């Protein structure tokens, strides 16, 4: 893939949301990705979802926790879309936001490692 | 956060409320208040560290139902009316004994009355979650109209989870985010989720304790 050079002022400011999943059954990474995107799409529409630039960075199925990346400007919308998730693959589910940070390293140190200890 | 409208406690006990950032939760009774059940829940809540209070939600099809509901006023901390007709809505907003109108879709004249009698409107998250597609978008437009009236008549808004199981619970942060997506400002969302529900419970407790007769009037001693 070609990488385009962008001026620092035009760079996207990312926010990394660490989350925890509470579900009746075990849920795969693939199911989570599709459900997160679907909920965002149904709440905000195609145009609104395009502003979020949502991406699942990692998911640990043992602890049912992971990190999602989104644009700084659409943070509220992404958290709101998490609140609308009720069901994944037929099992009742709820998302819990552990915290938001500006870098992956800090997100892991602050929220995920603390939880995994 | 104080969650006024959830039926989790009577169904599932006290599942991890603290991890969701919920410090107070209502024990919801529908149509009739059962004091024994409330006392049992209160006793069980002592170890959980959760502040619980009684909530009575009455389905009112006509204005007479509201009058019957008001008889239970002195026994419960929060009285909610689920008005299913415009007449019931009018009767509910005319009484200052009613705290909250649940699942509210209010009209302009009722909004003016609700403002005079300090009746708050509820936005229930469960109502939003159970709908999808065009029905959800219609619900959003009704909620947005309610917000418009609430701003005009300075009505208070309560945002509740409406959870019936622990999977229905949400964090205050998520609730606030959803309120902001619906069109509230950050300050309005914070008041609807974090501040007003707690204020309402504390105000009613002061009234029930007998020290406060009416807002601003207290007994000596």
A53 in any annotated domain: yes
**Mean per-residue pLDDT for B151-177?**
94
A6 in any annotated domain: no
A67 in any annotated domain: yes
Give pLDDT tens digits for B70-127. 988 888 999 999 999 999 999 999 999 999 999 878 889 999 999 999 999 999 999 9
Q: Is the pLDDT of residue B12 over 90?
A: no
Question: What ipTM goes with this model?
Answer: 0.91
Q: Do B190 and B198 form a contact (C-beta atoms < 8 A)?
A: no
A33 in any annotated domain: yes
Count Cβ atoms within 10 A of the Cβ of residue A31 and give its class: 0-12 exposed, 13-18 middle, 19 or more buried. Answer: middle
Q: Do A36 and A21 form a contact (C-beta atoms < 8 A)?
A: no
A3 in any annotated domain: no
What are the chain A neighbours of B177 within 8 Å (beta carbons)?
76-77, 79-80, 83
Which chain A residue shows the shortest CA-CA distance from B178?
A: A80
Count Cβ atoms within 10 A of the Cβ of residue A30 and give its class: 0-12 exposed, 13-18 middle, 19 or more buried. Answer: exposed
Which chain A residue shows the shortest CA-CA distance from B165?
A: A92
What are the chain B neighbours of A43 within 8 Å (beta carbons)?
181
B56: left (phi over 0), alpha (psi -120 to 50) or beta: beta
The percent of residues in chain B predicted with pLDDT above 70, rounded, is 95
Give pLDDT tens digits for A68-113. 999 999 999 999 999 999 999 899 999 999 999 999 999 999 988 7
Query: From the CA of A63, how many Å to the nearest CA of chain B?
Result: 15
Note the pLDDT of residue B60: 92
Note the pLDDT of residue B219: 67
- pLDDT-based confidence at B212, cuts 50/70/90? low
Note the pLDDT of residue A117: 58
Note the pLDDT of residue B43: 87
Angstrom CA distances, B194 to A98, B34, B147, B173, B176, stand at 18, 28, 17, 10, 9
Please report the residues numbered 40 through 99 in chain A whose beta carbons come closer than 8 angstroms to any beta carbon of chain B.
42-44, 76-77, 79-80, 82-84, 86, 92-97
Domains in chain A, number: 1
A1 in any annotated domain: no
Note the pLDDT of residue B215: 66
- How far is C-alpha A32 from the chain's CA centre? 9
Instruction: For chain A, give the mean pLDDT.
Output: 91
A7 in any annotated domain: no
What would the two tokens of residue B202 be? 């504390």
Beta strand B2-3 pairing with B24-30: parallel
Q: For residue A21, give its domain range.
A: 13-116
Q: Do B14 and B44 form a contact (C-beta atoms < 8 A)?
A: yes
CA distance A103 to A92: 31
pTM of the full structure: 0.91
CA distance B167 to B148: 31
Q: Is the pLDDT of residue B218 over 90?
A: no
Instruction: Say whether B173 and A22 touch across the interface (CB within 8 A).
Output: no
Q: Is the pLDDT of residue B153 over 80?
A: yes
A5 in any annotated domain: no
Instruction: Say whether B177 and A22 touch across the interface (CB within 8 A).
Output: no
Q: Is the pLDDT of residue B221 over 60?
A: no
Give pLDDT tens digits for B27-59. 999 988 888 888 888 888 888 888 999 999 999
CATH number at residue A37: 3.30.70.3250
- Is A109 in CB contact (< 8 Å) with chain B? no
């Amino acid at each position: 893939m070609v990488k385009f050079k962008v001026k620092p002022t035009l760079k996207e400011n990312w926010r990394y949301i660490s989350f925890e999943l509470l579900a009746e059954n075990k849920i795969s990474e693939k199911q989570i990705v599709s459900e997160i995107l679907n909920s965002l799409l149904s709440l905000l529409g195609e145009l609104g979802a395009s502003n979020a630039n949502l991406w699942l960075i990692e998911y640990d199925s043992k602890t049912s926790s992971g990190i999602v990346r989104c644009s700084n400007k659409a943070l509220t919308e992404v958290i709101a879309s998490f609140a609308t998730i009720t069901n994944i693959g037929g099992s009742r589910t709820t998302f819990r936001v552990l915290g938001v940070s500006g870098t992956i390293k800090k997100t892991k140190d602050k929220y995920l490692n603390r939880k995994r200890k | 956060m104080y969650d006024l409208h959830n039926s989790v406690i009577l169904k599932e006990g006290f599942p991890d409320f603290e991890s969701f950032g919920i410090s107070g939760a209502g024990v919801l009774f529908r149509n009739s208040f059962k004091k024994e059940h409330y006392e049992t829940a209160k006793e069980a809540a002592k170890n959980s560290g959760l502040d619980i209070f009684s909530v009575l939600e009455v389905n009112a099809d006509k204005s007479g139902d509201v009058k019957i509901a008001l008889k239970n006023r002195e026994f419960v901390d929060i009285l909610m009316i689920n008005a299913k007709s415009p007449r019931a809505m009018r009767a509910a907003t005319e009484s200052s004994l009613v705290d909250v109108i649940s699942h509210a879709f209010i009209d302009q004249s009722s909004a003016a009355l609700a403002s005079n009698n300090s009746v708050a409107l509820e936005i229930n998250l469960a109502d939003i979650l159970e709908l999808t597609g065009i029905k959800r978008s219609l619900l959003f437009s009704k909620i947005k109209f309610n917000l418009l009236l609430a701003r005009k008549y300075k009505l208070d808004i309560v945002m509740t989870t409406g959870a019936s199981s622990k999977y229905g619970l949400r964090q205050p942060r998520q609730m606030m985010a959803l309120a902001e997506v619906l069109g509230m400002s950050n300050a309005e969302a914070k008041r609807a989720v974090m501040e007003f529900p707690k204020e309402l419970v504390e105000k009613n407790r002061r009234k029930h304790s007998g020290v406060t007769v009416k807002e601003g009037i207290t007994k000596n001693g």
